[in-house]
Structure 1
């Protein structure tokens, strides 16, 4: 994810009028705790023009569940046939969860024309930025979807994806919000199913406490292998937004992490983290 994926005020949309007919409730209507809060979807003139010009080419129109914004209908099949119709070929497919303004995935699509890319983003201005860049470079191997990523992972065909990328997700720094972090057991199950055997889930964060969270979720799994070759010392206890400065005094342990992924460009967001003195933690988990 990125600097657009920060916590935001709760949605103040009025409640449904009881006199208005509502869609029948479905079992799927229950959704796990969301890893984002929707912000304003207003676009400035430049981004609105980009949307108008390029959405028809690059934006995937996926079926939703009635009344659930950014959902993906559980009866939809994100399968090989759909991918081949969408991209016009059967090339390997990489999905980025939380593409931000698209800097990374657009550069990857430019540098890897024989690979297909799908950018997932929940904030409309970020989606519009990705559309603008895709159109500017006339990329035929990139598509963008404005959806909740876990919803799409749930309907993804087994073994369809080459890699999944989750770079700089929202850290949700307050202790009571840690459960909203997108890297969770439930998503790991769906990502594993979607990946081909040997495919990679690449994760990066500049937040030390999130790095510990990733290790806790991923290192003990029997369906992924941590391919890291670098030893990193991390606190073994979690800190919160107000106690982060105590991390150095906590007990530490060694963990395995990966070299910086050279397929990830240095975005403005990552550069800000480095300039602020934060360490970038890279992970590459291989699906068994």
Structure 2
């Protein structure tokens, strides 16, 4: 609807100016206000307003206008036919094409073989997935990334190395896994996801029960979901989502101490005084290169939390 489109445009502008978290506030508030306005002016009842503005899935990202500099635009033009999968329902959409199945036939058609598939959720600048693909030519790698600059930079790095075992899908990760065949994926990697630090935004964190169930279904027997974060509160969130699941086994052999209550942006310094408990995490995954992003976290004094959960 026109009102919803206007709200989305406002959210994108806000994201460019002040960041994705603030844009999420704008979008959510805007949709609520628009629905309320229909009721106030007598065009609908509250029930009808809900039909006009139905509940939408909570996303772990806010779509921002991705402006490419000349170098990245050249990379996009040169490599998108080779690396970017045609899986979107429409140009510019982050949704999967209706009826598309990601199965062994799709893998053979896209990679030219049926090698084990490793999927990275949130590739960023592509440093890690490109290095992994270069180091492991016996595996197929798929980078899931929604932001244009990240997609273009991943193409640039892959193209420079003439990699044949890497592909990129610019889609919403949960939709990708919904469309994926049972047992197709060997491993899933989610390294340094957006922490969504505000308490009211914790629902937007990518690691959630719903996604865990989909990932478990698509993992081959014994497949692993690897997660890493440099945010202590996100580490607690991962434990809360994953440790009590009966379909995953925590492979951690490192003991860490974490607060038992969540903190958010503005009161994170209170975490040290909260009651703590011990949790099992994993040693640093050797297959993850030390990216510039991770280096910045270490330089800032943040502790890196690694997780490995095996499908059972």
Unaligned runs of 5+ in 1: 1-5, 16-28
Q: Map of 1:1-288 to 2, 5 A cutoff?
A: 7=20, 10=23, 31-64=56-89, 69-288=93-312
Aligned residues: 269
Does the CA contact (< 8 Å) of 1:8 and 1:38 recur in 2?
Answer: no
Give distance in 2, aligned partners of 1:99 and 1:93: 15
Deviation, structure 1 residue 7: 2.4
Structure whose alpha-carbon radius of gyration is higher: 2
Moved over 6 A (4+): none
Does the CA contact (< 8 Å) of 2:88 and 2:171 recur in 1?
Answer: no
Question: As a proportion of its length, which structure holds more helix?
Answer: 2
Q: Secondary structure at the match of 1:198?
A: strand
Does the CA contact (< 8 Å) of 2:123 and 2:143 recur in 1?
Answer: yes
Give distance in 2, aligned partners of 1:242 and 1:10: 18
RMSD of aligned C-alpha atoms?
2.0
Provide the residue aligned with 1:22 in structure 2: none
Deviation, structure 1 residue 68: 8.3
TM-score (ref. length: structure 2): 0.83
TM-score (ref. length: structure 1): 0.90
**Relative contact order: is structure 1 or structure 2 higher (C-alpha 8 Å, sep ≥ 6)?**
1
Q: Secondary structure at the match of 1:10?
A: helix
Q: Secondary structure at the match of 2:20?
A: coil
